[in-house]
Amino acid sequence: MDTRLFREVRRARVFLVLAVLFGLTGTGATILQMRFLSEVVSRVFLGGGTLGRVSVLLVLLLCAVMGRAAFTWGREVAGRHGAILVKGALRERLFSHLMRLGPAYTRDESSGELASTAVEGIERLDAYFGSYLPQAALSALVPLTIAGYLFTVDWISAALLLATAPIIPILMVAVGKYSERHIQRQWEALSRMSAYFLDVLQGLPTLKALGRSREEGRVVGRVGEVFRRRTMKVLRYAFASGLVLEFMVSIAIAVIAVELGVRLLRGDIAFQPAFLVLLLAPEFYRPLRELGTSRHAGMEGKAAAERIFEILDTPLPERSGGEAGWEPPAGAPRIELKDVSFSFPDARRPALDKVNLTLEPGTTTALVGRSGAGKSTLASLLLRFLDPEEGEILACGAPISEIPPARWREHVSLVPQRPYLFYGSVLENIRLARPRASREEVERAAELAGADGFIRALPDGYDTQLGERGARLSGGEAQRIAIARAFLKDAPVLILDEPTSSLDPESETAIRQAVERLRAGRTTLVIAHRLNTVYRADNIAVLDGGCLVEQGTHEELVRRGGLYAELVCAPEGVRP
């Protein structure tokens, strides 16, 4: 945990301790309130006192009531503020940890489930930290404080209160364990439902195009109905447990009342102390009842926290790194992969096995192979989202494993097959590549990418707000935004994931021209899916089952009649 996060957590602890102190001080005000009230009632109804004789007690009673209300308010504010600090620090730490885990981790996770954990999951911790934790401390301290005071008033009643108090937490644990299992299942169901809903929303255009939106809508309705029933089942257990606790507290107070009544009739205790004990008996049990009420919210927070800390406990990839001030040689570097091997956990075979490949400066290497051949894994290694298990990757003779990952990525540009555009202006989306770039530099990059024309035709030009995933742009326009990012970054190493796939002929031509300008003078790796892209490559590397099986120019590989020739002769040319 970095210094700032540690400071936020430490501040949160201060507020949570302050909430407990406010609660204890409020207990003192409650004791005074009940004492003054019992004395007023005793003097007026038994002593025949007038308003003047009890006016001082009434003023003190009013001050005690106001003090109790103020301390209760302070306790709630301190608890909520502490919870806000904990949530902010935890959300930032979770997001930072996910970013450091990188695509190697998130590729096997549902983005909807992760988003639900980072948003809804952490929000569920609000009641846990703001109410449940302070209440857990107060449920032990407040009864002991009241019992300690009552020992000076009537030790028999105080002992009886202490004897009956453990019944409530025992019942709470017994009933709560059964409820906790259902709450855990409810949280898991919510996570799965969040992931499913996000997938449906993202695929809505496809569903509409295929005429399946109504059918999928009915499925969404059934999923929501199942979750509603599960939620109502959890609430039934929560209300049932609350009913049991209230019943037991009522019986305990009734026992105290009967005991006091019998002793009062026998003359073993005076009216004023008996009335004071009867007034404080509900306050003795109140923290335990409130703990039972907040325990349900606490169990929800616990269920969410288990998933949160499961992610936080996921070990980060072991990556070495040299000095942060590393500077690459001038110009495009020569990149060499020497006996590079990598395997994913639980995989039956290596994703890459003893791959030897050289990317010469200023040239374009096309990476070809069937689906699952290892093309994306090799690109992830070059981006240092993964590190080789065996072998090494060299840039101008220096292992990139000795360079800090963030520093190395500053010198690598990626143009993915499906670029992600965030909610924000066109200017902000391009400027992601270099946040400190001027507006003129952004516009120049857009011109080189062939994007300036359609950007200026938008309602507000470069200041036009885009929806999530570039909602108001076509596929070709979004791709040109991604290419503009690469021009703006101006990195010497370029990785392209077939940027011209799934486009109309006009957009494909414009993007191909932009890519030709972008590749000039850079060390370029293209994950090729189409034959016309492969033709233009200086070198073609063919992967099969994680192994580099062929390498050469298009003409050389066709003459050999190997896997590449088989892919070229396929009905759709080179396929992923």
Domain ranges of the chain: 3-312, 331-411+491-576, 422-486
Beta strand 412-415 with 465-466: parallel, antiparallel or unpaired?
Answer: unpaired
Q: d(Cα 470, Cα 422) in Å, to the nearest integer?
A: 7
pLDDT (0 to 100) of residue 533:
67
- Looking at residue 362, its amino acid is G
Please answer whether residues 198 and 111 qualify as being in contact, where contact means their C-beta atoms are separated by less than 8 angstroms: yes
Query: For the chain, what is the mean pLDDT?
Result: 80
Please answer whether residues 23 and 138 qualify as being in contact, where contact means their C-beta atoms are separated by less than 8 angstroms: yes
The neighbour count for residue 370, using CB atoms within 10 Å, is: 18
Q: Which among 291, 292, 293, 304 is positioned nearest to 87, based on CA atoms?
A: 304
The neighbour count for residue 129, using CB atoms within 10 Å, is: 25
Tens digit of each residue's pLDDT (9 = 90 or more) over 217-260 = 788 788 788 778 877 877 777 677 777 777 778 888 888 888 88
Q: d(Cα 295, Cα 265) in Å, to the nearest integer?
A: 40
Q: Which among 508, 530, 526 is positioned nearest to 574, based on CA atoms?
A: 530
User: Taking residues 100-120, what's their average pLDDT?
Assistant: 72
pLDDT (0 to 100) of residue 71:
92
User: Taking residues 31-40, what's their average pLDDT?
Assistant: 88
536-562 burial, b if ≥16 CB within 10 A, otherwise e?
A: ebebbbbbbebbbebbbebeebeeeee
Q: d(Cα 473, Cα 480) in Å, to the nearest integer?
A: 10
Q: Rounded to the nearest 5 degrees, what angle is found at the Cα of 178, between the Cα atoms of 175 and 180?
A: 105
CATH code of domain 3-312: 1.20.1560.10
Which of the 8 DSSP states describes residue 412?
E
pLDDT (0 to 100) of residue 1:
47
Q: Is the pLDDT of residue 66 over 90?
A: yes
Q: Which among 526, 531, 530, 468 is positioned nearest to 501, based on CA atoms?
A: 530
Q: d(Cα 549, Cα 543) in Å, to the nearest integer?
A: 6
Beta strand ranges found along 499-546 (DSSP E): 523-527, 539-544
Tens digit of each residue's pLDDT (9 = 90 or more) over 319-348 = 555 554 556 666 788 888 888 888 877 777
**How far apart are the two ends of the chain, measured CA to CA in Å?**
41
Structure tokens at 68: 């109790």
Q: Is the pLDDT of residue 572 over 60?
A: no
Count Cα atoms within 13 angstroms, Cβ side, for 273: 16
Q: How confident is the model at residue 63 (pLDDT cuts 50, 70, 90)?
A: very high
Structure tokens at 288: 């335990």
Q: Is the pLDDT of residue 11 over 70?
A: yes
Please answer whether residues 528 and 568 qualify as being in contact, where contact means their C-beta atoms are separated by less than 8 angstroms: no
Q: Is the pLDDT of residue 571 over 80?
A: no
Q: What is the dihedral of CA 458, 461, 465, 467, to 10 degrees?
A: 40
Q: Is the pLDDT of residue 23 over 50?
A: yes
The 3-state DSSP class for residue 374 equals coil
Q: Is the pLDDT of residue 300 over 70?
A: no
330-365 burial, b if ≥16 CB within 10 A, otherwise e?
A: eebbbbbbbebbbbeeeeeebbbbebebebebebbb
Q: How confident is the model at residue 95 (pLDDT cuts 50, 70, 90)?
A: confident
**DSSP bridge partners of 394:** 336, 399
pTM of the predicted model as reported, rounded to 2 decimal places: 0.64
Q: d(Cα 100, Cα 450) in Å, to the nearest integer?
A: 34
The neighbour count for residue 77, using CB atoms within 10 Å, is: 15
Tens digit of each residue's pLDDT (9 = 90 or more) over 170-219 = 766 666 666 666 666 776 677 777 777 777 776 777 777 777 777 777 88
Structure tokens at 58: 């009434």
Please answer whether residues 400 and 359 qualify as being in contact, where contact means their C-beta atoms are separated by less than 8 angstroms: no
Q: Is the pLDDT of residue 163 over 80?
A: yes
Structure tokens at 547: 């192994």
Structure tokens at 350: 């290596």
CATH code of domain 331-411+491-576: 3.40.50.300
Q: Who has greater pLDDT, 573 or 106?
A: 106
Q: d(Cα 496, Cα 498) in Å, to the nearest integer?
A: 6
Which of the 8 DSSP states describes residue 473?
S
